[in-house]
């Protein structure tokens, strides 16, 4: 692992870029501003390296545009209905940063827009962040550590968090991918996602709390199919929480294959859910993309491992509450290859 300067924030703090190289020709570049995966390069079936992640050439691409590309997301990823929840009998009110109706991805700044303390830890990049009590409306002080490791062609993110008061936590990384190096959209990518149920959404894209089967619907990826095959049957494309079968966490239950380049991405996680997003809000307006990329509509997909979305507002769902003495843990690996 090596590092270089990536830029300077308005308050004068320096942002660093860390370069990790795997033995299988995979290279990851990660900034300690938001823990963002700035670049992910992987070879195609002919051995030619190519950029497969949405990234930006300099820090300005992240500070002058509000987006979550490649970022760590917290204290709670995804949406919280009306920005409100009750914990131990007390109501907490969070900022509504999504259309004035929803709390999204940890709030106005959240973990994605914070400078993390960086260090090397046994060949891995270690990022640490202390979220103060009351930050973005969340209770308690939360200490979070995320390690990025690249071994062969496996990029592994390992998360740990502890709190001094009861709070809620659901961390993830919001990386965007295109396995054909952005030569076209991701609709021909073939995906297999071994999840037999999902969380239906309301008009604000917040789960209703129900659990519904995917079988017989356009949401079913239990048998591999092109992302674009059924996307037209959905009003806004894919942006929903899939639920893995019980007891199968840690297996390679998610795989995306690009027939043109031959690249394959497989994902294994110990989390119960995977948020699949088909780039529905990308519109080509993001400036400063790597290699001049503009990132138009559906030019990338996201696979965000985590817990049940908005679980704090649905007592029947597995809890996202973290109490003093407990440790939040997550490990997610993205494996790159070809066929």
- Please list the active-site residues: 174, 304
Residue 16 C-beta-side C-alpha neighbours within 13 Å? 14
Q: Which of 143, 170, 182, 214 is nearest to 304 (CA)?
A: 170
Q: Residue 36: which residues within 8 A CB-CB, separation 6 or more?
A: 30, 55, 62, 69, 70, 71, 72, 112
Q: Which of 336, 337, 270, 332 is nearest to 72 (CA)?
A: 332
Q: Which of 91, 94, 57 is nearest to 76 (CA)?
A: 94
- The dihedral of CA 68, 69, 72, 76: what is its sign? positive
Token digits for 191?
Answer: 């995906």
- What is the chain's percent helix, strand, coil content, to nearest 5? 5, 45, 50
Place of tokens 């990025």: 148
Which contacts qualify for 140-143: CB closer than 8 Å, 24 or more apart? 140/164, 140/165, 140/166, 140/167, 141/165, 142/75, 142/167, 142/169, 142/322
User: DSSP H helical segments within 209-252, as ranges?
Assistant: none
- The dihedral of CA 266, 227, 34, 312: what is its sign? negative
Spatial separation of the C-alpha atoms in residues 115 and 49, rounded to whole Å: 30
Q: Residue 54: which residues within 8 A CB-CB, separation 6 or more?
A: 69, 70, 175, 176, 177, 178, 286, 289, 293, 295, 300
Spatial separation of the C-alpha atoms in residues 43 and 302, rounded to whole Å: 20
């Amino acid at each position: 692992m090596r590092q270089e300067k990536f830029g300077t924030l308005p308050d004068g703090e320096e942002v660093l870029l860390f370069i990790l190289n795997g033995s299988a020709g995979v290279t990851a570049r990660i900034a300690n501003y938001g823990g963002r995966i700035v670049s992910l390069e992987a070879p195609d079936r002919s051995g030619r390296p190519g950029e497969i992640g949405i990234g930006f050439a300099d820090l300005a691409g992240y500070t002058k545009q509000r987006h979550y590309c490649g970022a760590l997301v917290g204290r709670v990823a995804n949406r919280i209905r009306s920005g409100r929840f009750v914990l131990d009998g007390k109501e907490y009110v969070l900022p509504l940063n999504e259309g004035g109706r929803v709390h999204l991805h940890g709030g106005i700044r959240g973990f994605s827009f914070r400078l993390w303390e960086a260090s090397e830890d046994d060949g891995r990049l270690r990022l640490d962040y202390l979220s103060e009590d009351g930050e973005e409306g969340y209770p308690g002080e939360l200490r979070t550590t995320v390690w990025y490791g690249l071994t062969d062609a496996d990029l592994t993110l390992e998360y740990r968090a502890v709190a001094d008061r009861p709070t809620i936590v659901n961390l993830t990384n919001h990386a965007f991918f295109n396995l054909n190096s952005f030569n076209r959209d991701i609709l021909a990518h073939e995906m297999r996602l071994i999840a037999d149920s999902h969380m239906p959404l309301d008009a604000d894209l917040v789960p209703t709390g129900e659990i519904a089967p995917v079988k017989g619907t356009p949401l079913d990826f239990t048998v591999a199919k092109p992302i674009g095959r059924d996307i037209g049957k959905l009003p806004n494309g894919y942006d929903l929480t899939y639920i893995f079968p019980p007891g199968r966490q840690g297996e390679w239950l998610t795989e995306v294959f690009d027939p043109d380049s031959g690249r394959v991405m497989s994902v294994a996680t110990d989390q119960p859910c995977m948020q699949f997003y088909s780039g529905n809000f990308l519109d080509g307006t993001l400036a400063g993309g790597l290699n001049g990329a503009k990132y138009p509509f559906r030019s990338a997909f996201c696979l965000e491992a985590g817990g049940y979305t908005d679980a704090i507002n649905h007592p029947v769902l597995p809890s996202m509450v973290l109490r003093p003495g407990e440790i939040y843990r997550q490990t997610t690996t993205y494996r790159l290859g070809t066929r």
